[in-house]
Amino acid sequence: MLMVTLIVACEIGFWVVLGAGLVARYLLRWRRTSTVLLLCVPLVDVVLFAATVIDLRGGGSAGSVHGLAAVYLGVSVAFGHSMMRWADQRFAHRFADGPPPVKPPKSGSARVRYEWRESGKFMLAYAIACGVMALLIFVVSTPEHTAALWRGTIPGLSIVAVIWFLSPLSATIKRLVPASN
């Protein structure tokens, strides 16, 4: 239960630190402070990773919540920059007379490229999450204590990765194969 609370706290912490950085940048005009705050956003991931390792080194069995922590870390690293850019564009537009946020393309080859780029980010998140789980398995070093990762989290995440891969693949096929009437 403590790990679930920590994962939720880290997600909230991500948005709080990001929001504080954007408030400092656009509302308070504290450029240096905002830069420091925005550079601190990845520290939330470090806290979660350290807590996960400490929990497991303390004798705990790796469970699905540890797998969830690894997935959170992977997604945060792979998508973190684009989430920060997404928030920055909206905040700048709303509070600092910035240009309208960039929207993803709706169709055509630009949409296909966008879908492949997003799929690539998820594949990076998948690789990071599996790498973190492998590290956790090594840290715990007993098969009976890491079965939840091998039998539950990694196969489940692999299914999600395949589904995520199918989206840009279908967009590419639709783009290449002309529709018949």
Average pLDDT per consecutive 10 residues, the chain (181 residues; last block may be shorter)? 87 93 95 93 89 81 85 92 94 94 89 92 95 83 75 89 88 76 55
Centre a 10 Å sphere on the Cβ of residue 110 and count the other Cβ atoms it contains: 11
Q: Where are the domains of the chain?
A: 2-176
Measuring CA to CA, how many Å separate 58 from each of 9, 52, 53?
Answer: 21, 10, 8
Contact 112, 171 (CB under 8 A): yes
At residue 137, the pLDDT reads 81
pTM of this structure? 0.84
pLDDT of residue 181: 55
Nearest CA-CA partner of 6 in 56, 47, 37: 47
pLDDT at 64: 84
- Check: CB of residue 114 under 8 Å from CB of residue 104: yes
The pLDDT score that the predictor gives to residue 56 is 81
The closest of 177, 72, 58 to 132, measured between CA atoms, is 72
Q: What is the pLDDT of residue 24?
A: 96
